[in-house]
């Protein structure tokens, strides 16, 4: 047998280790050693040739007197004993009882809500002050964000808009065909796109592209203490960071919704052409049934959606915690919060427009 091969033997009430007790040996012997030590009174290490810290932790964990260790082995044991003594096992944190946990959760939620209200207030005040203040509106920043939130989203919006027009036209032509009413496909697609789907789909695109980018960008700035640096330099962080972003989102959204509407209608026209309807039939249907009111209502909604996405994205970024996961969490929060807010706002608009008879 190789001298260095680690082994253990139980001799009466003495557990004897031999060979090199290293990580590999510890893996093999740990459970055997634990059962052996339960029966033994002392542990003898006189035949141990090598010991690493993993082996030492195993031996010390057996909680029995360790005898006969050669000096170099005893030194390793001693170093690890001191290390283990300075690091007692952590007790898991006590969880709060149900009622207290509920209370603590409610207080946390209330604080978050109060923070959000304060943030909305701060943004509103900054927006109102901005036109009269030096550095209140930064045109260069605004143009950069308009480019990123608007222009750069065009290819994606055009692609999705066209596809959605095609899909809607195809799907609605199937039931309408049964009644010979395919000529009404443009009415259906036109109204649903202009009033609902155009703004909604554009808002979802913006939430995913721009809302998450705002949160990630501002979150990284918070983590790098750039926002603190701005505040200390006396620069209004809301005016410099948040306002141009919200303005850009609010201005770019109606344009994106319009692009969505137009490309959707083009997609639908293509399907109608494939079904054998001439271009003029489609336009005359649209002219008869669509009014400017439908379009403007949709674009107004889009602007409000844009402002909401900008607000939520920036809020998520600015309230990012410290630490490496913070930025990811902020981006997720921005997208989820943005989409939920859009759907809620859309519901509110639906009721409002219905009541107002628009």
Partner 1 sequence: MTAETVITVDDLTVGFGGPPLFRHVSFEVRRGEVFVILGGSGCGKSSLLKAMIGLIEPSQGTITLLGEQLVNATGEDRRALLRRLGVMWQSGALFGSMTLAENVELPLEEHTRLSRPARQAVARAKLGLVGLGDAQGKLPSEISGGMAKRAGIARAMALDPPILFLDEPSAGLDPVTSAGLDKLITDIARGTGTTFVVVTHELQSILAIGDRCIMLDKAARGMIAEGDPKELRDHSENPTVRAFFNREAPSDAPEARPADTKVGA
DSSP 3-state of 188: helix
Reading the block at residue 152, the tokens are: 């750069």
The CA-CA-CA angle for residues 342, 347, 348, to 5°, reads 95
Query: In angstroms, what CA-CA distances link 10 with 39, 48, 70, 259, 335?
Result: 9, 15, 20, 82, 63
| Region at 48 (left for phi over 0; alpha for psi -120 to 50; beta for the rest) | beta
Q: Which member of 4, 5, 9, 27 binds partner 1 (CB under 8 A)? A: 27
Structure tokens at 153: 């989203």
Find how far residue 156's CA is from the centre of its chain.
21
What is the nearest approach in angstroms of partner 1 to the Cβ of residue 31? 7
Give yes or no for residue 41 binding partner 1 (CB under 8 A). Answer: no
Q: Does 86 bind partner 1 (CB under 8 A)?
A: yes
134 binds partner 1 (CB under 8 A): no
- Residue 225 lies near partner 1 (rule: CB under 8 A): no
Q: Is 266 in the site for partner 1 (CB under 8 A)?
A: no
| Residue pointed to by tokens 């050669």 | 70
Buried b or exposed e, range 203-212, using 16+ CB within 10 angstroms: bbbbbbbbbb
Q: Does 319 bind partner 1 (CB under 8 A)?
A: no
Which of 82, 108, 111, 287 touches partner 1 by CB under 8 A? 82
Pick the stretch among 86-94, 105-113, 116-124, 185-193 that binds partner 1 (CB under 8 A): 86-94
Q: Which residues contact 114 (CB under 8 A, 6 or more apart)?
A: none
Q: With binding defined as CB under 8 A, does residue 228 bind partner 1?
A: no
CB of 105 to partner 1, least distance (A): 21
- Site of tokens 């082994």: 7
Pick from 29, 37, 31, 33: nearest CA to 13: 37
Question: Nearer to partner 1 by C-beta: 62 or 197?
Answer: 62
23 forms part of the interface with partner 1 (CB under 8 A): yes
Instruction: Identify the DSSP state of 208.
Output: I
Tokens of 122: 């701060």
CB of 188 to partner 1, least distance (A): 49
Does 94 help bind partner 1 (rule: CB under 8 A)?
no
Choose the binding region for partner 1 from 79-87, 176-184, 254-262, 284-292 (rule: CB under 8 A): 79-87
Q: Does 233 bind partner 1 (CB under 8 A)?
A: no
89 sits near partner 1 (criterion: CB under 8 A)? yes
Does 90 interact with partner 1 (rule: CB under 8 A)?
Answer: yes
Q: Is 336 in the site for partner 1 (CB under 8 A)?
A: no
**Interface residues with partner 1 (CB under 8 A)?**
22-23, 26-27, 30-31, 52-54, 56-58, 61, 75-76, 79-80, 82-90, 321-326
């Amino acid at each position: 047998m190789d001298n260095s091969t680690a082994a253990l033997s139980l001799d009466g009430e003495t557990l004897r280790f031999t060979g090199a007790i290293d990580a590999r040996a510890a893996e093999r012997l740990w459970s055997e050693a634990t059962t052996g030590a339960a029966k033994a009174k002392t542990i003898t290490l006189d035949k141990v040739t090598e010991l690493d810290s993993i082996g030492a932790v195993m031996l010390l964990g057996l909680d029995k007197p360790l005898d006969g260790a050669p000096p170099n082995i005893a030194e390793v044991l001693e170093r690890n004993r001191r290390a283990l003594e300075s690091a007692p096992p952590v007790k898991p944190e006590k969880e709060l009882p149900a009622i207290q946990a509920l209370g603590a959760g409610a207080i946390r939620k209330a604080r978050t809500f109060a923070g959000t209200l304060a943030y909305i207030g701060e943004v509103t005040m900054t927006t109102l002050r901005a036109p009269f203040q030096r550095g209140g509106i930064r045109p260069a920043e605004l143009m950069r964000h308009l480019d990123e939130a608007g222009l750069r989203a065009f290819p994606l919006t055009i692609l999705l808009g066209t596809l959605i027009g095609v899909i809607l036209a195809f799907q609605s032509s199937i039931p309408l065909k049964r009644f010979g009413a395919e000529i009404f496909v443009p009415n259906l697609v036109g109204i649903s796109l202009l009033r609902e789907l155009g703004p909604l789909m554009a808002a979802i695109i913006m939430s995913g592209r721009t809302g998450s980018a705002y949160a990630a960008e501002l979150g990284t700035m918070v983590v790098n203490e750039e926002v603190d640096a701005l505040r200390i330099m006396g620069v209004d962080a809301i005016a410099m960071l948040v306002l141009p972003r919200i303005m850009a989102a609010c201005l770019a959204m109606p344009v994106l919704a319009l692009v969505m509407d137009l490309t959707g209608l083009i997609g639908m026209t293509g399907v109608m052409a494939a079904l054998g309807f001439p271009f003029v039939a489609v336009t005359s249907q649209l002219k008869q049934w669509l009014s400017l009111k439908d379009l403007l209502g949709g674009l107004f909604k889009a602007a409000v959606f844009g402002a909401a996405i900008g607000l939520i994205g920036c809020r998520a970024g600015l309230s990012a915690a410290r630490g490496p996961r913070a930025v990811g969490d902020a981006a997720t929060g921005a997208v989820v919060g943005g989409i939920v807010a859009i759907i809620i706002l859309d519901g509110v608009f639906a009721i409002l427009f219905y009541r107002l008879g628009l």
